Structure 1
Amino acid sequence: MTSRTPAAARLHRARWVMTLLFTATTAGCLLVLATIAVHTDSQSRTNDLDNAVSHRADGLARTLFYDTGGTLRLDSLQEDELARSAEVLGVLQTLPNTGPQVRYTYPSQTALPDQAEVDEIWQEVQHDQETALVTTTAANGREYHWAAAPVWDNDRIGATVLVGADPAPSQAAHARLIQWLASGCAALVLAAAAAGHLLTGRSMRPALQGLERQEQFLAEAAHELRTPLATLRLVVENGSATPHRATTALDEAVRLVDRLGKLVTGLLARARVEAGTQDVELTPLRLDQLVEQTVEELPDPNGVTITTQAVIVEGDPELLTQAVRNLVENALQHGGGTPVEVSVAATRVAVRDHGPGIPPHDRTRAFERRVTGPASTGTGTGLAIVRWVAELHGGTTRLSQTPDGGTLAELLLPEHSSS
C-alpha cells in the first residue's frame, strides 16, 4: 500500500472535515425540526385533552338544573351518554354557609381530588365565572386533567360539574413519538454522514486524480531529464579539464541542450494533453526517419543498429520521439550491455536486446507507471510513457521473449490512411 503524499493527505483531511460539517449541519437542522415537532405534538395533545373534557363538562352542566324548590336535579346523569362514557365524573354543590360538597361521583369518590384541591377548583370557577381547566392528583394517587363547568342557580353558581381524563395514554403516545423522532433523526444523521462522505469523495476525486497526474508527471520529467543532464555535466567537466577538447565539448553540450529542449517540449505537450488543455495534433510523418533521428541523438548510439523501411504514419512527432527514445533507452539499460537492434516496418517499431529478458508474469507490470523498481522487473516510467503514447495514437505496445534470449519491445501504430 503506497503512502499518501502531504498534499493528498490534506485533501483527505479536508474530505473528513467537509463530511463532519455536512453531518453537523444536517444534525442541527433535524434537531430544530424535531424540537418543533415535539413541541407542536405536545401542544396539540394538550389542546385535544382540554377540548374533550371541556366539551363534556359544558354539555353535562347544561343538563343539570335547579327546580322551583331550589333543589339541584341530577336525574339526567343516569341517562346521559356523556356521563356514562366519562372516565371520572363528579358534581360539587354549595349549601348556605358551607363549602363545596360532593353530590355525585363516578366511578368512586377516590377518583376525585382531595378536599383542598376541590376547594381550589371551586374558587377558580367562582372567580372566572366560566369553565376552568386544571391538572391535579386524585385521592387514589393518579393524575387527571380536569374541566370544571359551572351550574347556575339564577344569578349565582350553585354547583360545578367535574370531568376528569387520564393524560397517561396521550403522554405515552407523545413519548413514543419522541423515541421515533430520536431513532429517525439518528438514522438520518448516519445516512447524511454516509452520503456526505460519498459526495465529498466524488467531488474530490478529480482533484486527487489531477494531483496524482501532476506528481506522476514530475516523476516522469525527472526520469526523462536525469540522463541528459548527467551527460551534459560530464561533457562540461571534461571540456573544462582538457582545454584542447573544449571545442568538441562545447559542440556536444550544444547538442545535449538541443536534446533537452526537445525533451522539455515533449514533456509540456504530454502534460497539456493529459490535463485536457490541448488535443493531440496528428500529422503525417515518416516513422523511419523519426526513429533514425531519435537514435542518433542518444548519448551513445554506437550500441544500436537500425533497420528501417519507409513508413508513413499519422502522429505527434514530439510524443512519438519520446516513446521511441524510451524504448531504446530501456533496452540499453536493461539489456545488460548487449547490442540493441531497432527495426521499423509496417507501422511497427521493434526494439530488441539480448539481455536476461523479463519473466512472463512481469511483462504486463512493466507498462505500469512507477518511478523505480528491481532491475529484473522494473522499468521506471519509460515503458508506461510508451504505452500512453501508443494508446493516444490508437495503437498498442507489446513485450515478448525472443527464442534465443532477450526482450522484444514493440510499438504498434495504426496504418496511415492515404485518403
Structure 2
Amino acid sequence: MTSRTPAAARLHRARWVMTLLFAATTAVCLLVLATIAVRTDSHSRTNDLDNAASHRADGLARTLYYDAGGTLRLDSLQEDELARSAEVLGVLQALPNAGPQVRYAYASQAALPDQAELETIWQEVQHDQETTLVTTTAANGREYHWAAAPVWDNDRIGATVLVGADPAHSQADHTRLIQWLALGCATLVLAAAAVGHLLTGRSMRPALQGLEQQEQFLAEAAHELRTPLATLRLVVENGSASPHRAPAALDEAVRLIDRLGRLVTGLLARARVEAGTQELELTPLRLDQLVEQTIEELPDPAGVTVTTEAVIVEGDPELLAQAVRNLVENALRHGGGTPVEVSVAAGRVAVRDHGPGVPPEDRTRVFERRVTGAASTGTGTGLAIVRWVAELHGGTAQLSQAPGGGTLAELLLPERKGG
C-alpha cells in the first residue's frame, strides 16, 4: 500500500472536518427543533390537563345548588358521570364568618390539599369569583393540578367544587417522547454524518484522482527521462575529456536532445489526454518504420535485432514510440544480458528476451501502475504506460512465456482499414 502524499492527507483531513461540521450542523438544528417540540408538548399537556380539570369542575359546580332552606344539595354527585370518572374530587363549603370545610371527598380526603392550601384556594376563588387553576401538593405527597369552581348561594359563593388531575401519566408520556426524540436525533445525526462523509468523499474524488495522476505523471516522467539524461551527461563528459571526440559527442548530444524533446512532448500529451484537456489525435503511420526509428535512438541498439513487415495503423506517433521504447528497454534491462528480438507484423509489435521469464501470476499484475514484481517485471511504471497507450489506441498489451524460455511482450494494435 502506498503512503498518502501530504496534499492527499490534507484532503482526507478536510473530508473528516467537513463530515464533522455536517454532523454538528445537523445536530444543532435537530437540537433546536427537539427543544421546541419538547417545550410545545409540555405546554400542550399542561393546558390539556388544566382544561380537562376546569371543564369537569365547571360542569359539576352547575349540578350543585342550594335548596329553599339554604342547604347545599350534593345528591347529583352520586350519579353524575363527571364525578364518578374524576381522579380526585372535593367540595368545600363555608358557613358565614367561618373557614372552608371539606363537605365531600372522592376518592379519599388524603388526596386533597391540606387545610392551609384549602384556605388559600378558597380565598382565590372568593377573589376571582370564577374557576381558578392551582398546582399544589396533596396531603399524600403527590402533586396535582387543581381546578376550583364556585357554587353560588344567591349573591355569595357558598361552596367550591375542587377537581384534581394527576400529571404523572401525562409526564410519563412526555418522558417517553423525550426519549424517542433523543434516539431519533442521535440516529439522524449518525445518518447525516454518514451521508456527509459519502458526499464529501464523492466531491473530493476528482481532486484525489488529480493528485494521483500528478504523482503518476511525475513518476513516469522520471522513468522516461532518467536514461537519456544519464546518456547525455556521459556523452558530454566524454566529449569534454577528449577534444578529438568533441564533434562526434556534439552530434550525439544533439540527437539525445532531440529525443528528450520528443519524450517531453509525449509526456505532456499523455498528461493532457489523461486529464481530459486534450483529445487523442490519431493519424495514419507506418508502425514498422516507427519501431525501427525508436530502436535506432536507443543508447545501445546493438543488442536488439529487428524484423519488420509494412504495417499501417492509426495512432499518435509520440505515444506509440514511447510504448515501444518501454517494451524494448524493459527487455534489455531484465533479460539478463541476452539478445532482444523485435518483430513487427499485422498490428503486432513483439519483443522477446531470453531472460528468466515472468511468473504466470505476475504477467497481468506488472501492467498495473506502481507495482513491483519479480526480477524481470520492472517497477510497473514503464509497462503500465505500454498498457495505457495500447488501450488508448483500441488495443492491448500482454506478457507470455516465449518458446524456449524468456519473456514475450506484445503490443497489439488494430490495423488501419483499407491500409
Q: Which residue of 2 aligns with 1:412?
A: 412
CA contact (8 A) 2:351 2:410 kept: yes
Q: Which residue of 1 aligns with 2:100?
A: 100
In the alignment, does 2:216 pair up with 1:206?
no
SS of the aligned residue for 2:336 comes to coil
CA contact (8 A) 2:358 2:374 kept: no
CA contact (8 A) 2:362 2:374 kept: no
Q: Distance in 2 between matches of 1:371 and 1:232?
A: 29
Q: Distance in 2 between matches of 1:368 and 1:204?
A: 23
SS of the aligned residue for 2:417 comes to coil
- Post-superposition CA distance 1:113-133 (Å, at most 9, x none): 100000111111112221111
CA contact (8 A) 2:145 2:164 kept: yes
CA contact (8 A) 1:287 1:310 kept: yes
Q: Which residue of 2 aligns with 1:185?
A: 185
Q: Distance in 1 between matches of 2:53 and 2:273?
A: 80
- Post-superposition CA distance 1:188-243 (Å, at most 9, x none): 11122222222222222222122111101110001000111111111111111112
Trace 1:33-48 onto structure 2 (pairs within 5 A).
33-48=33-48
TM, length-normalised to structure 1: 0.97
Q: Which residue of 2 aligns with 1:392?
A: 392
CA contact (8 A) 1:62 1:151 kept: yes
CA contact (8 A) 2:135 2:144 kept: yes
Q: Which residue of 1 aligns with 2:127?
A: 127
SS of the aligned residue for 2:400 comes to strand
Trace 1:7-406 onto structure 2 (pairs within 5 A).
7-370=7-370, 375-406=375-406
CA contact (8 A) 1:220 1:371 kept: no
More deviation, 193-202/248-257 = 193-202
- Post-superposition CA distance 1:300-321 (Å, at most 9, x none): 1111111111110011111101
Q: CA RMSD in A?
A: 1.4
Question: Size of the alignment, in residue pairs?
Answer: 419
The gaps in structure 2 that reach 5 residues or longer are none
- Post-superposition CA distance 1:240-259 (Å, at most 9, x none): 11122211111111111100
- Post-superposition CA distance 1:125-163 (Å, at most 9, x none): 112221111111111222211100111222221211100
More deviation, 372-381/161-170 = 372-381
SS of the aligned residue for 1:136 comes to strand
Q: Distance in 1 between matches of 2:328 and 2:278?
A: 27
The gaps in structure 1 that reach 5 residues or longer are none
SS of the aligned residue for 1:183 comes to helix
- How much does 1:371 deviate? 7.0
TM, length-normalised to structure 2: 0.97
CA contact (8 A) 2:393 2:413 kept: yes
CA contact (8 A) 2:335 2:376 kept: no
Amino acid at match of 1:129: Q
More deviation, 388-397/400-409 = 400-409
- Post-superposition CA distance 1:152-184 (Å, at most 9, x none): 222221211100111100000101111111111
Q: Distance in 1 between matches of 2:89 and 2:200?
A: 63
- How much does 1:16 deviate? 0.8
Identity %: 88
- How much does 1:377 deviate? 3.4
Amino acid at match of 1:311: V
- How much does 1:69 deviate? 2.7
More deviation, 109-118/63-72 = 63-72
CA contact (8 A) 1:285 1:313 kept: yes
- How much does 1:374 deviate? 5.2
